[in-house]
Chains A and B, each alone.
Chain A
Amino acid sequence: MTIAALNPSPAPAILPGSGGIRGALSDLFWRRPQLLLLLMLLPPVLWLGIVYIGSLFALLAQSFFSIDEFSGLINREFTLKTYGDLLQAANLDIILRTVTMAALVTLASAVVAFPIAYYAARYARGRWKALFYLGVMLPLWSSYLVKIYAWKLILAKEGILTWLLAKLNLLGLLDAWLSLPVVGGNSLSVSFTGTFIVFVYVWLPFMILPVQAALERVPGNLVEASSDLGASPGQTFRNVLFPLALPGIVAGSIFTFSLTLGDYIIPQIIGTSRLFIGQAVYSQQGTAGNIPLAAAFTVVPIVIMGFYLWGAKRMGAFDAL
């Protein structure tokens, strides 16, 4: 026994090595997990790196090209001229309009989302909880175009909203609103108000889910403690619920803000002829053939979202996602 214990040669493996290529490969991956990791990561990273990041860089590079105004040809020389064009009054106007809309849509989504999220997080149980979840997921995943189409039906001059307001004798109110300078228009389906409503509708579920996730983590007795200590419901909301829900709201706002910045279909179908960033990008690359300016335009939402994400991360929004 002692001789065997002192024997310097290594003990034999308990299990014999597996045979064949399959066994050899299996043993190799077991001994070298890094190799397996590398092999697993290679396909997705190659795909996303080449197809996606590669394309983004191609786009970024083109924003430094410029277009020859006379020939309409693209001049492939490094220049900042296109970014100069971006600062023209008309283009700044587009950027300002889009950012304002994105901010308003975000704000409205947060206001509409909060009660739904709060009810689902604190009061809904069992079957109701499932119903609330599906009630948010179904509209979220329903066809984007169908949702816009539905609102076209609702907001049209002869549509259901006008009918409803007529029944309620409130048509005067609608006309008064539509006669306002910026937000009004011929009918709701060709006004900024219409664009705003549809944006809020389409992105609302993206706000509800993270806010609900944040509120789920607030213990109910915290709210009770606040009211036991004499706070009114308003004070409890301001000092307890809202600060705790804020990371969720910020997380949701990442979606509502970013999606509004880039969308060009909603303002095209329900909106006025005054452009948003997405529409500008689309028309610059399509009808105008000015790819450099289109590329420079897309850099605007990327930069804005970069700052936004940086700020959101600092507020702890990513933990609420």
Chain B
Amino acid sequence: MRSDRAQSAPLGLKIAAACGLLFLHLPILLIFVYAFTTEEKSFVWPPPGLTTQWFAVTWNRPDVWQALSLSVRVAAISTAIALVLGTLCAAAVSRTKFFGRETISLLVILPIALPGIITGIALRSAFALADIPFSFWTIVLGHATFCVVVVYNNAVARFRRTSGSMIEASMDLGADGFQTFRHIVLPNIATALLAGGMLAFALSFDEVIVTTFTAGQQQTLPIWMLEELIRPRQRPVTNVVAMVVVLVTLLPILAAYYLTRDGDQIAGSGK
């Protein structure tokens, strides 16, 4: 009988782990306090007073809305492209063994394994060589490239857990390939795709390094924030935007977690 379940951790380990988690979370919580501060010019702590007026000011700033809208549009299109490419790649890699399979998984991971600045400058120099002007689509090109990996990772994990005999059973019962995909494969991988899509959306929504090289004059929300960090115009507005960004990225991650959490109960996973 295994006895390691009943034990409790040594006190030192508990404290170290708790401190580590606090270190990870306190700075983010701090953002929420600063969004309400009445102080306009500096980062003084504790806040001299609390107010909600900066939410109204931020609401009426057209530049924030423009940046937000561009970010959402880029993230939506990039996610859609990544969903198609990532799923195709995952389906191919997980089902069959073929020559160059390892190379393909490396190819998918590379855009995120190499530092973002390399992806960024590589794309920029390629655009320059090919005389492609900066546009909405140059941003999407970069984002979709590194979003593929997130969809791919989620989909590959699910494909591996889904039993192949179900697909064979479907075919034996007379369904053609498209029917099998529509009624067997798709429902099984749907939540994994949704989770991958949400993470890809969050990744694109937040990306700044590659975007600075491919955006030209356009501002996504992270570029807007970077600009504010380097040349602050109205600090309280930055505080509010920072808080909103935390909340907006939080929701897809929580949703993705709940969608992939019960992965053990995938149909056919026990066989």
* Residues on A facing B (Cβ under 8 Å): 15, 18, 22-23, 25-27, 29-30, 33, 36-37, 40-41, 43-45, 47-49, 51-56, 58-59, 62, 112-113, 115-116, 118-120, 122-123, 125, 130, 132-139, 141-154, 156, 158-160, 162-163, 201, 204-205, 219-221, 223-224, 233, 254, 258-259, 261-265, 268-269, 278, 281-282, 285, 291, 294-295, 298, 301-302, 305
Contact = CB atoms under 8 A, between A and B. Distances in A.
Interface in B5-51: 5, 7-10, 13-14, 16-17, 20-21, 23-25, 27-28, 30-31, 34, 42-46
B85 A44 contact: yes
A19 to B, nearest CB: 10
Interface residues of B, number: 88
A26 B176 contact: yes
Q: Which 7 A-B pairs have the closest CB atoms?
A: A262-B115, A220-B4, A115-B16, A26-B176, A119-B17, A55-B126, A55-B122
Interface string B115-128: 11111011111101
Contact of B96 (A37, A51, A302): A37
A285 B114 contact: no
Contact of A40 (B3, B24, B91, B253): B91
Contacts of A298: 117-118, 121-122
B77 interface: no
User: Which label, helix, strand, loop or mixed, suits the secondary structure of the A interface?
Assistant: helix
Which residue, A22, A52, A130, A262, has most C-beta atoms of chain B within 10 A?
A52
A22 B176 contact: yes
Nearest to A24: B176
Contacts of A118: 13, 17
A158 B42 contact: yes
B31 A221 contact: no
10 contacts: A52-B145, A115-B20, A145-B222, A150-B28, A154-B30, A163-B46, A220-B5, A269-B229, A301-B115, A305-B113
Which applies to chain B's interface (DSSP): helix, strand, loop or mixed?
A: helix
Contacts of A254: 113
B117 A295 contact: no
Given A55-B122, A122-B9, A149-B242, A159 B45 contact: yes
Given A138-B250, A147-B27, A262-B116, A119 B122 contact: no
A295 B121 contact: yes
B31 A146 contact: yes
A162 B42 CA distance: 14
Given A150-B27, A220-B7, 17 more contacts: A36-B177, A45-B89, A58-B129, A132-B21, A139-B25, A142-B246, A145-B229, A146-B245, A154-B27, A201-B27, A223-B4, A224-B3, A258-B114, A259-B115, A263-B116, A263-B209, A268-B230
A144 B88 contact: no
B80 interface: no
A52 B110 contact: yes
Nearest to A136: B24
B84 A41 contact: no
B24 A158 contact: no
B188 interface: no
Contacts of B104: 41, 44-45
A295 B27 contact: no
Contacts of B253: 137-138, 141
A184 to B, nearest CB: 20
B257 interface: yes
Nearest to B34: A153
A56 B122 contact: yes
B270 interface: no
A133 to B, nearest CB: 8
Given A48-B111, A53-B107, A41 B89 contact: yes
Interface in B32-83: 34, 42-46, 81
B145 A51 contact: yes
A160 B45 contact: yes
Nearest to B253: A141
Contact of A265 (B31, B118, B144, B208): B208
A145 B246 CA distance: 10
Contacts of B254: 134
Contacts of A268: 230
B218 interface: no
A59 B17 contact: no
A109 to B, nearest CB: 11
Of B119, B177, B242, most A-chain CB atoms within 10 Å = B177
B113 to A, nearest CB: 7
B118 A301 contact: yes
Nearest to B85: A44
